[in-house]
A and B are shown apart, each in its own frame.
Chain A
Amino acid sequence: MSGFVRPAAPRRRDRATPESVTRKVARNVGVPLLSIVLLLALWQGIVVYFHVAPYIAPRPRQAVLAVTQNWSTLWPLVLGTIRETVYGFIAGAALGIGLGVIMAKVPVLQRLVYPVLVLSQAVPIIALAAPLVLILGFSVTPKVVIVAWIVFFPVTVNVLDGLSHVDQDLVNLARVYGAPRWRTFIQIEIPATATPLFSGLKIGATYAVTGAIIGELAASDGSSLALYQEHANTNLNTAAVYGTTMLMTVIGISWFLLVVGAEVFATPWQRRTVARRWRRGDRSEDEPAR
């Protein structure tokens, strides 16, 4: 037997102890929340100190009240915006991943398609809305298309980049084992691309709501959150304008956080030393007691 076993020196935070969980929550949730509170306080301070007229800027409380008091009207509109955001994001992510993979695997297609992709992002998105309405009507579809249009690009660029930087020695090792290419792709190349993929998804997530709102502005015939805000603006209901903006922001942040959560869940190795216990069902009795 080897006499050369040395004690492990885990370089990262080991399994969380109760204290560290509290501290982690404080750091990861408390501090960002504090920055939002400070922002609201700044808003309040400016409005009060400079005696800003309510039709120019309401106090935060009035903006929040404008939302809560009209919640029954707003709620279906919020749901609509969320639906456009989520559908568009999923479509854009799927398209982005697909294009990234195809372009990485077929270099000719990469040279052929890349300029078109860049071109697609150079088109002002507002200018895109009118033809989309002509083609797709005033349904949910044009909004979904606009969101997907915005989301797919960072995803494609990052997936393409990630796939072309997979360690070729690792791919060769799989070849030496006699692995078929599709298994190498699924087991090596895809997980190796997880980090850039999620970078692309996070960028896409921040823009997704913006895309949905642009779509609602340009391609709505009836009720939508964007039109609600426009009506409030015409009626000089400034509190509702600010309130709706806050609502849109909250939708955007929530979606971004959801994607961050998915990343944390999908890439445990980036912040853990030891695998989660439940990951494997077959924990057999020959596992040594610790």
Chain B
Amino acid sequence: MKASAILELRDVGKVFGDTVALEPTTLTVDEGSFVAIVGPSGCGKSTMFNIIAGLLSPDGGEVRLHDQPVTGATGHVGYMLQKDLLVPWRTVEDNITMAKRLTGRVSAADRAEARRVARQYGLGEFLRHYPSALSGGMRQRVAFMRTLVTHQPLLLLDEPFGALDAQTRLEMQQWLLQVWKDTERTVLFITHDVDESIFLSDRVLVMSPRPGRVVADIVNPLARPRTVDTLVDPQFVTIKARIMHLLHGGDA
């Protein structure tokens, strides 16, 4: 793992009216790492994402990407939500190249890349299909490919598998780890599923609401590659117990 920081939050906080959505938070994310953020609703995890993505301006503090200030600016991260947000009027291929179309021209090389990525990850036959023809898991994969081809080194994934059934979700998690390994990106991954946060990550940030804040920063020592056996590894269970305890109102 490369040790240099890709993302830095310095005292970044946000208040909506009387609600402290996110207490001033300081945080560093290493390049190439997979950081999971787990917490109940209202703990400020999506607020943190929206600040990093530039959709929200923080009340104070600074967001730095590759040691450059990017506070309040957009266009520097890949971003994906639980909703796949595929546009129904474009084919799978055109959905994958959507970011390019929105910011300039889609070149032949962009289309070739979209086709290559889709084929590599098992959607090559569906390039000319409209999203309505795809299953939920396939749609989420297309949405992820769309995020991938933006070539942003930092990907913010906000509960991307939250709407999928358990079986599909497990498949998608293993698929995501494969893609992450192939493409060497840095991933910030929000989930409310403790198992998911441990299964995927190098590091788990546990957050808590009222006020929204990070209450624990846990290094995940589990070996890779992760398999179904990982889920019953004693270390897995130890981390899970600690996170559960934190989430349900104890001290670390």
Using a CB–CB distance below 8 Å, which chain A residues touch chain B? 1-2, 4-6, 8-12, 167, 169-170, 172-180, 183-184, 187-188, 191-192, 194, 267, 269, 272-275, 277, 282, 284, 286-288, 290
Contacts and interface: CB of A to CB of B under 8 A. Distances in A.
A180 B101 CA distance: 11
A62 B15 CA distance: 78
Contacts of A187: 98, 101-102
A273 B85 contact: no
Contact of A176 (B54, B128, B132, B175): B54
Interface residues of B, number: 48
B154 to A, nearest CB: 11
B79 A173 contact: yes
Interface stretch (B23-31, B59-67, B115-123, B209-217): B115-123
A174 B74 CA distance: 10
B132 to A, nearest CB: 6
Contact of A8 (B89, B119, B134, B178): B134
Given A11-B133, A176-B77, A284-B112, A269 B119 contact: no
A187 B88 CA distance: 12
9 contacts: A2-B121, A167-B85, A176-B79, A178-B76, A178-B103, A191-B87, A269-B90, A269-B130, A288-B125
Contacts, number: 113
Contact of B87 (A183, A188, A275): A188
B130 A177 contact: no
B128 A275 contact: yes
Nearest to A167: B85
A32 B55 CA distance: 51
Contacts of A194: 89
Nearest to A184: B102
Nearest to A4: B171
Given A10-B133, A173-B85, A188-B87, A4 B122 contact: yes
